[in-house]
Amino acid sequence: MKRFLLAAICCILYNTHLLAQLPALDKVEPMNWWVGMANPKLQLVVHGNNIASRQVQLAYPGVKLAAVHKVENSNYLFLDLVISPSAKAGTFAIKFTAKGAQPLVYNYKLNTRDRSANRVQGVTIKDLIYLIMPDRFSNGDPNNDVVKGMRETGLHRDSMFSRHGGDIQGVMNHLDYLKDLGVTTVWFTPEIENDEPQASYHGYAVTDYYKIDPRFGTNELYKQYVEKCHSMGLKVIKDIVHNHVGTECYLIQDMPMKSWVHQWPKFTNSNYHDMVVMDPHASANDKKIMLDGWFDRRMADLNENNPYVQNYLTQNHIWWVEYAGIDGLRLDTYPYNDGPYMSQWAKDIRAEFPNLSIYGETLVWSAADQAFFTEGNKLNQGLDTHLPGVTDGVVKDAIYEALNGKDGWTDGASRLYAVLAQDFLYKDPTKNVVFLDNHDMSRVFSVVNEDYTKYKSAFALLLTTRGIPQMYYGDEILMKNFSNPDGLVREDFPGGWPGDKNNKFTAGGRNKKENDAFNYIKKLANYRKNTTALQTGKLLQYIPQKGVYVYFRYDALKTVMVVYNSNEKEQEMETAYFAEGLNGARKGKNVITDEAVDIAKLIIPAKTTLIFELMPNGIH
């Protein structure tokens, strides 16, 4: 009993302390908006000490205060505004008044939308995505390494679970490196504030939705980063999280209402089993734990059935795209979200930004599981998700099976053939993002047991198959390690910090094998960038024979032939069987060596992938 009373007293004191520290007007979010949006409705979240006791007034032509919502917590008001098409850009006062108290005023700004041609371009099958963890790529501004007042102030490069000091400026300093490699699109793990006590460098435990983490930079710097990318012909993807929020976020520390997050009698993790979402025989309890269970103790599970939560998330994502001109959004932990809300979210986002690309992270186990979450199919119990594409982990697994497995009816290279044969499940499989690894997975060079020939085949398959290819920072210089423990796949890029022994951003800092790997990917990536057949071209694949997998990518301009030998020994192959793809061609240019080759009969070394541009063109 004494222990219970002590806990209750501590809770009261803690909440009293929070209340005492809370300013009369702490936050208004979104802090600004734009005229001319497709949706005229805007819901402002106002947070401040007992703000609900005040009356709200505003007067501005074309802006109507449609409703004022008081909720369980008197420290919040939710204001519904309607911004008519006739409203002009400008600033107006929102007044919060109470009898006998000094009025509180927030000057709200409506901006004009930026209609520049190179904003919000969208990411397509013509692109190559490069994934970066900002904390681990390059430290461009040592002045923001430690920020006073934040909960984690340590900087320990010798620990995989501490901050290392990488930042946005560091990436900006090396955009030329990415451009040279053949990258067209840059994706960061989340760069918004994660002010958690420890190990929050990854970015997936947001504590301020509208603020770049100050250890990475500022909102203004992020916008400059996007603009610099666009000026160099690069696109930008922003990583966003619908499912969960860091427990130090003010929306959790002082929740608007209990239903803001999913509540449990005791801490309950998600069971992480996406199958129950689609299983017609699933237990209701299994499904509830999957969708409503918390991802982690420091990541509160948001209740996406709550309309206030829905408005908050959707408006935040619209705000960032409009503010910075982002080209695409990667949606973290997509299967854990509420399906109907995510469907409406996609429609709302695309209504504002028709060219914006969105794709969901779906680390599932079959093509059917992935297709369940994509738009335009009949699999999702009558729900159209309006999600164009997903992260194609099934193709990733099939590539590794082709590289490491033994030839069989559905094993080895036949697995890759079989997975691509299921593309009928998708409305458009070319909108899936294909990849070999990321920040949560073992690196490709380690997965192929540091076999350099297999490594090159992995990238040859990745950069010539259908879909939008994505690679992970450092793969091009043979960075390695396994995901268990996961910190080891998040090592710093050598040369990104002053004083690093080797600077692998330069040829002189790389060894011979690393330079060879870099140049191989550079050659193939830039060839893909200039070859529409590998972008928008059709795919013609053949059943693997004796462990040799052959496919063609073609359009009216070019035909590219890809031949992969999955065997441990070289194979000799006559190509007459592939007449449909060859379309009379007998010679091809080796894309890597630029050598003209007679392709009537080929000798393919073990575990090697050969890529030929047919001379003359094949299929038309």
**Catalytic-role residue among 29, 361, 475, 491:** 361
**DSSP for residue 578:** G
Residue 207's SS3 state is coil
Backbone φ, ψ for residue 349 (5° rounding): -65, -45
Classify residue 614 as exposed, middle or buried by CB count within 10 Å of its CB (0-12, 13-18, 19+): buried
Q: Taking every pair of C-alpha atoms in the chain, what is the biggest distance, in angstroms?
A: 93
Neighbours of 98 (CB within 10 A): 14
298 CB neighbour count, 10 Å cutoff: 19
**Element spanning 572, H or E:** strand 571-574
**Residue 272: half-sphere exposure toward Cβ, Cα within 13 Å:** 5
Q: What angle do CA 10, 71, 20 make, to 5 degrees?
A: 35
Per-residue three-class SS string for 264-327: CCCCCECCCCCHHHHCCCCCHHHHHHHHHCECECCEEEECCCCHHHHHHHHHHHHHHHHHHCCC
Parallel, antiparallel, or unpaired for β 609-615 and 559-565? antiparallel
The length of the chain in residues reads 620
Compute the distance between CA of residue 13 and CA of residue 501 in angstroms, rounded to an integer. 51
Tokens 């496919």 correspond to what residue? 551
Token pair belonging to 341:
């809300």
Exposure string of 487-522, with b = 16+ CB inside 10 Å and e = fewer, is: eebbbbbbbbbeebeeebbeeebbeeebbebbebbb
Known catalytic membership, residue 568: no
CA distances (Å), origin 166, targets 6, 146, 539, 540: 43, 11, 40, 43
Show the tokens assigned to 237: 């993807």
Beta strand 129-132 with 185-188 is parallel
Residue 248 among the catalytic residues:
no
Catalytic residue among 191, 332, 352, 475: 332
Positions annotated as catalytic residues are: 332, 361
